[in-house]
């Protein structure tokens, strides 16, 4: 879920000339699972993973948030074939199970040569399970068979290229969604460069995904709207085109305010609070390295004043309190 709104920065620090607002990203409890999709080669594993994680940017309308975590080499794969690790998040275990079954059934079962396995350890404290192959086996129309290996059940479903193998279920764990960064830059080129650098750094970490296209959001949102049927609307406080038109703008005032021409957001979902915090930190560091010379002027974050989510990622704390030397 995209964090929105924003708090007026009461003080700031600077890193490499980039202003870091004294604010926090407000994140939310979610449920998550990891699945491993393997195939005859990496190309087909990725085809399935890309399809399965499509239309999964925000639980506001998509039902789940999902993304590719990393590629898996054959020597670390459950069946000795290349694969892709996918993380999927939703607001409840029930909805996650529904989304998982639909996406695996329509996007993985259908994809040539694929198999699917659970990617989280079984029996973790507080974990539940969601069906993976348990119900999809019925596609086999009675020809499906199961195999139990080391206490884990797998289903073998006949299909036209051989068989589709699916582990019966997958663990579901508590997770964190909605960590975010707002990158305030001189223009579109600069904002994209900073965002791309931040996303690339975050992707090197395990246990997190950035679910929006390319990991980046241009349509940051706030809670509520002047239209009664909408529960979210444009984050006008961070829209450069609305400076001077809205009652409160986060871009008005300050030495760099007139220079800010583009704002991009990155949303991070992770398996733990520590995972999200680590991703935000490395993302900020990568963006800060670009600095004002590359057009990045300021970093902020979206929140709801601390009223909706229990996870608060304070930017100054993530970076440490020391700023640029005078």
pLDDT of residue 238: 95
Q: Which of 92, 283, 270 is nearest to 195 (CA)?
A: 283
Distance CA 237, CA 245 (A): 10
Q: At 322, is the pLDDT very low, low, confident or very high (cuts 50, 70, 90)?
A: low
Q: Mean pLDDT check: name the lowest of 29-33, 59-63, 89-93, 137-141.
A: 59-63
Q: 295-307 in b/e burial notation, b at 16+ Cβ within 10 A?
A: bbbbbbbbbbeee
pLDDT of residue 306: 81
Bigger pLDDT: 206 vs 257: 206
Which domains can be identified in the chain, with CATH numbers? Answer: 12-28+175-319 (3.30.70.520), 31-173 (3.30.70.520)
Answer yes or no: is pLDDT of 311 > 90: yes
Output Rg (C-alpha) for the chain, integer angstroms: 21
Q: Which of 212, 210, 200, 216 is nearest to 270 (CA)?
A: 210
Element (H, E) at 317: helix 315-319
pLDDT one-digit tens code per residue, 48-58: 999 999 999 99
Which token pair is 30? 């979610």
Answer yes or no: is pLDDT of 255 > 80: no
Distance CA 251, CA 261 (A): 10
Percentage of the chain modeled with pLDDT above 90: 84
Q: At 326, is the pLDDT very low, low, confident or very high (cuts 50, 70, 90)?
A: very low
pLDDT of residue 9: 42
Mean pLDDT of 155-178: 97
Distance CA 36, CA 208 (A): 15
Q: Which three-class secondary structure state does DSSP give residue 16?
A: coil
Distance CA 93, CA 113 (A): 29
Q: Mean pLDDT check: name the lowest of 10-14, 53-57, 208-212, 219-223.
A: 10-14
pLDDT one-digit tens code per residue, 194-205: 999 999 999 999
Distance CA 83, CA 71 (A): 6
Distance CA 183, CA 275 (A): 20
In this prediction the pTM is: 0.93
Mean pLDDT of 156-166: 98
- Mean pLDDT for the chain overall: 93
């Amino acid at each position: 879920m995209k964090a929105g709104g924003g708090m007026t920065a009461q003080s700031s620090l600077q890193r490499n000339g980039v202003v870091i607002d004294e604010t926090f990203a407000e994140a939310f409890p979610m449920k998550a699972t990891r699945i491993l999709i393997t195939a005859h080669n990496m190309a087909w594993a990725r085809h399935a993973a890309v399809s399965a994680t499509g239309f999964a940017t925000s639980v506001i309308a998509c039902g789940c948030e999902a993304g590719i975590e990393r590629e898996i080499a054959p020597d670390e794969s459950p069946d000795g074939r290349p694969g892709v690790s996918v993380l999927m998040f939703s607001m409840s275990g029930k909805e996650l199970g529904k989304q998982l079954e639909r996406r695996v059934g329509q996007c993985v079962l259908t994809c040539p040569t694929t198999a699917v396995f659970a990617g989280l350890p079984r029996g973790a404290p507080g974990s539940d399970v969601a069906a993976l192959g348990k119900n999809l086996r019925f596609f086999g129309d009675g020809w499906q068979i199961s195999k139990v290996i080391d206490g884990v059940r797998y289903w073998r479903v006949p299909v036209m290229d051989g068989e589709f193998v699916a582990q019966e279920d997958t663990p579901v764990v508590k997770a964190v969604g909605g960590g975010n960064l707002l990158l305030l830059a001189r223009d579109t080129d600069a904002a994209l460069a900073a965002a791309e650098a931040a996303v690339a750094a975050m992707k090197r970490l395990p246990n997190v995904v950035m679910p929006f296209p390319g990991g980046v959001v241009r349509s940051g949102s706030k809670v509520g709207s002047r239209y009664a049927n909408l529960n979210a609307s444009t984050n006008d406080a961070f829209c450069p085109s609305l400076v001077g038109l809205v009652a409160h703008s986060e871009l008005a005032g300050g030495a760099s305010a007139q220079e800010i021409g583009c704002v991009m957001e990155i949303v991070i979902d992770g398996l733990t609070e520590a995972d999200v915090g680590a991703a935000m930190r490395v993302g900020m560091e990568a963006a800060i390295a670009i600095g004002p010379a590359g057009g990045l002027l300021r970093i902020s974050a979206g929140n709801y004043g601390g009223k909706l989510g229990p996870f608060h990622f304070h930017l100054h704390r993530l970076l440490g309190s020391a700023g640029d030397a005078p």
